[in-house]
A = this chain, B = another copy of it.
Amino acid sequence: MCPHALIPYKPVNPKTRLSCVLSQEERELFARAMLSDVIYAVRDVNCSPVIVGTELFDSEDIQITVTDADLNQTLNSLLPQAVGEILIVMADLPLADAPSLRRVLSTKKDIAVVPGRGGGTNVIYLKEPHRFHVDYYGTSFLKHIKIAEDAGLSYDVIDSFRLHTDIDEKEDLVELLIHGTGKSRAYLEELGFVLSVEKGRVGVERKGKNSK
């Protein structure tokens, strides 16, 4: 089994909600490090990564470029043509690992979905891609469940905090510093990020002269 893994990715000016702690160049390097972690995990379960990027960038991986920002339209033009199974994995899931992805891929249902924090959808696995279409943004998790139901497809919701944790905001960096093992954690540490505990609550702070 070697499904293609489509990985939506924005190489230029990504992760703007992290602007409070990272410059644009740092956000681009950080997003790239997270993408590397996701690609590592995806390869680890024998999937072939295909990056669906908003522009071409320097990489040895297969890339598809999206001519506009419409992720849904692009993916929905790809799904009907897909030969075999398709995994769609967001690029901002640096805690993704082989055990969590294996639970996704081992579903007995037609589809497996992993919800993201705040109603999003972080991973979708489709055994018959032509029978499904995506509808990202907003409460996409609920929309994807409805799309599956309307299409008569059975589905599993995979219960994984590693795949649930998308990194969008400063608070999310706590999870990466605690549970991360890959390049994106190393990059944060290189920039001087450390855990901080104040009044019993855990946050991150950026130390030293590397501060933005």
Which of A's residues lie within 8 Å of B, judged by CB? 99-100, 115, 117-120, 137-139, 141-142, 159-165, 171, 174-175, 178-179, 195, 197, 200-202
- Closest B residue, CB atoms, query A140: B202
Contact A159–B100 (Cβ < 8 Å): yes
Question: Which of B138, B160, B175, B179 is the one whose CB lies under 8 Å from A160?
Answer: B160
- A159→B160 CA distance, assembly (Å): 5
Copies in the complex: 2
The answer to whether B171 touches A118, judged by C-beta atoms less than 8 angstroms apart, is yes
Is the pair B162, A119 in contact by a Cβ cutoff of 8 Å?
Answer: no
Complex: chain B residue closest to A158, CB-CB: B161
Chain A binding site: helix, strand, loop or mixed by DSSP?
Answer: mixed
Report Cα–Cα, A171/B120, bound state, in Å: 13
Q: Is B138 touching A179 in the complex (CB atoms < 8 A)?
A: no
Chain B residue with the shortest CB-CB distance to A174 = B118
Contact, CB under 8 Å: A118 / B159: no
Q: Is A118 in contact with B202, judged by CB distance below 8 angstroms?
A: yes
In the bound complex, CA of A179 to CA of B113 (Å): 13
Residues in B whose Cβ lies below 8 Å from that of A179: 115
Distance in angstroms between the alpha carbons of A118 and B163 in the assembled complex: 16
With contacts A159-B99, A159-B162, A160-B161 taken as known, whether A139 is within 8 angstroms of B175 at the C-beta atoms is no
